[in-house]
């Protein structure tokens, strides 16, 4: 009970139980707090500067490097392909491959992932293949999403990654709820391996109400969830100075009672280490949320619909690309350990590029899903209203065959 005992030295308010009284009136000035430090364990030259870090096997390190390369090769080609009008839209993740591949490598297969849209590296690290990426981007009949979502809105049930949706931050409370549900399930099955939910979002999305709602409910309900914020400095054209005035996103975590860390997102081993530790914390004592703020820089344009040189200097971007980049930093680490050289780099890039281009041209040739897919899955079953509307559309297609091109859709109007 929080009731006040007679003669007690201090009052115990229910809303802040450990707050001591003071007769010195002082505001808490954010400016007097030092910025939360950024953890890094690898120097820009690829040397390990935190000797306590547990490094992965050489095989895994090489695999992770390859996955980052795969993302960057896909990004370059697809950005150009969009420019040529071969797909409607694309978003690259240049500069953030380390955050995504590094964190995903520290998770277990059963962990449930929610992402925003700039997490191709997470999909890649989990095992999403070039053909799967391409089928989604070209919205062909092999696309799991049945051609309903914009490009880059990937999803995979097999990999336990929820399908991406455009509204920002909506997935953050989902992750809290999912974490609660899997915690209950894992508890009901004592033999099962405990799982966590993981949620990625940008620093811009963290301004949405859903961010606040999610962190608060995750904390009060003790949900085993890791929130990973990709702070890349920009939300489209808006720099962080116009996004918030506090110490980034990390400083908010403790306000919700959440264990929090800031990490160098360009340091893949730091991200991996932090995520591993966060996973342990998230499962401790019945579960709790953890917040990771991964600092990086959005080297690419926001999307193919954006020209970022309209709001930031080209030289700034070039500088980041050259000076500090997760791919080059890992490459230096691999070279320092005798695992990599120019020859391997050239050969691997060539192989990956040709595998990618094959997936690209294959996916482009595949027919679109059936027109029927447009009406399905609104409800579990087709409603009479939707059935009637399907029939109506079919009538239109039959009466005005010259007005619609349906040849690319599987099964044509009969579907």
Residues in Cβ contact with 105 at an 8 Å cutoff, skipping those fewer than 6 apart:
56, 60, 64, 125, 272, 275
Backbone angles phi, psi at 156, to 5 degrees: -155, 120
> Which residue shows structure tokens 């109007």?
413
Q: Cβ closer to another protein: 40 or 141?
A: 141
> Distance (Å, rounded) from C-alpha 271 to C-alpha 51?
15
Q: Cβ closer to another protein: 65 or 117?
A: 117
Q: Cβ closer to another protein: 52 or 188?
A: 188
Least distance (Å) from another protein to the CB of residue 181?
4
For strands 234-235 and 238-239, give the pairing.
Answer: antiparallel
> Distance (Å, rounded) from C-alpha 41 to C-alpha 48?
6
* Cβ atoms 295, 125 nearer than 8 A: no
Q: Cβ closer to another protein: 69 or 196?
A: 196
Kind and range of the H or E element at 329? helix 326-336
Backbone angles phi, psi at 348, to 5 degrees: -65, -45
Least distance (Å) from another protein to the CB of residue 107?
16
> Distance (Å, rounded) from C-alpha 131 to C-alpha 356?
8
Kind and range of the H or E element at 36? none
Q: Which residue ranges make up the site for another protein (CB under 8 A)?
A: 112, 114, 143-146, 148-149, 153, 155-157, 162-163, 165, 167, 170, 172-182, 184-185, 188, 197, 209-210, 212-214, 216-217, 220-221, 373, 377-380, 383-385
Straight-line distance from the first to the last Cα atom of the chain, in angstroms, rounded to the nearest whole number:
66
Residues tagged active-site: 80, 166, 302-303
Least distance (Å) from another protein to the CB of residue 396?
17
Q: Cβ closer to another protein: 144 or 355?
A: 144
Q: Cβ closer to another protein: 157 or 391?
A: 157
Least distance (Å) from another protein to the CB of residue 405?
23
Residues in Cβ contact with 28 at an 8 Å cutoff, skipping those fewer than 6 apart:
none
Q: 3-state DSSP call for residue 149?
A: coil
Q: 3-state DSSP call for residue 262?
A: strand
DSSP 91: -
Least distance (Å) from another protein to the CB of residue 227?
13
Residues paired with residue 42 on neighbouring β-strands, in sequence order: 48
Q: 3-state DSSP call for residue 104?
A: helix
């Amino acid at each position: 009970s929080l009731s006040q005992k007679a003669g007690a030295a201090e009052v115990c308010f229910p809303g802040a139980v450990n707050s001591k009284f003071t007769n010195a009136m002082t505001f808490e000035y954010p400016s007097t707090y030092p910025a939360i430090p950024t953890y890094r364990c690898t120097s820009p030259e690829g040397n390990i500067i935190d000797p306590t870090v547990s490094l992965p096997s050489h095989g895994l390190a090489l695999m992770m490097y390859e996955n980052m390369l795969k993302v960057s090769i896909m990004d370059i080609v697809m950005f150009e392909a969009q420019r040529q009008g071969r797909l409607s839209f694309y978003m690259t993740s240049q500069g953030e491959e380390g955050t995504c591949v590094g964190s995903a490598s520290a998770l277990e297969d059963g962990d449930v992932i929610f992402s925003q849209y700039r997490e191709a590296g997470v999909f890649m690290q989990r095992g999403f293949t070039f053909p799967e990426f391409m089928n989604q981007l070209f919205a062909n009949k092999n696309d799991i999403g049945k051609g309903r979502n914009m490009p880059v809105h990937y999803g995979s049930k097999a990999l336990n990654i929820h399908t991406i949706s455009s509204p920002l931050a909506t997935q953050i409370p989902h992750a809290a709820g999912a974490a609660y549900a899997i915690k209950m399930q894992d508890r009901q099955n004592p033999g099962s391996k405990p799982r966590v939910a993981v949620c990625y979002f940008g620093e811009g999305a963290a301004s949405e109400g859903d961010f606040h709602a999610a962190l608060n409910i995750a904390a009060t309900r003790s949900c085993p969830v890791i929130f990973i914020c990709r702070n890349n400095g920009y939300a489209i054209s808006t720099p962080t100075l116009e996004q918030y005035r506090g110490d980034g996103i990390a400083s908010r975590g403790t306000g919700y009672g959440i264990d929090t860390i800031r990490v160098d997102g360009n340091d893949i081993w730091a991200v991996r280490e932090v995520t591993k530790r966060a996973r342990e914390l998230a499962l401790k004592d019945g579960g709790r949320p953890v917040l990771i703020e991964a600092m990086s820089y959005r080297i690419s344009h926001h999307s193919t619909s954006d020209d970022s040189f309209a709001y930031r200097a080209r030289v700034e971007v070039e500088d980041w690309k050259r000076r500090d980049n997760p791919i080059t930093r890992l490459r230096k680490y691999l070279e320092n350990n005798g695992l990599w050289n120019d020859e391997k780099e050239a050969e691997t890039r060539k192989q990956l590029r040709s595998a990618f281009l094959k997936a690209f041209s294959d996916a482009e040739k595949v027919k679109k899903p059936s027109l029927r897919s447009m009406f399905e899955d609104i409800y579990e079953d087709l409603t009479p209203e939707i059935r009637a509307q399907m029939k109506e559309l079919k009538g239109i297609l039959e009466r005005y065959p010259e007005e619609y091109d349906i040849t690319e859709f599987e099964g044509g109007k009969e579907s």
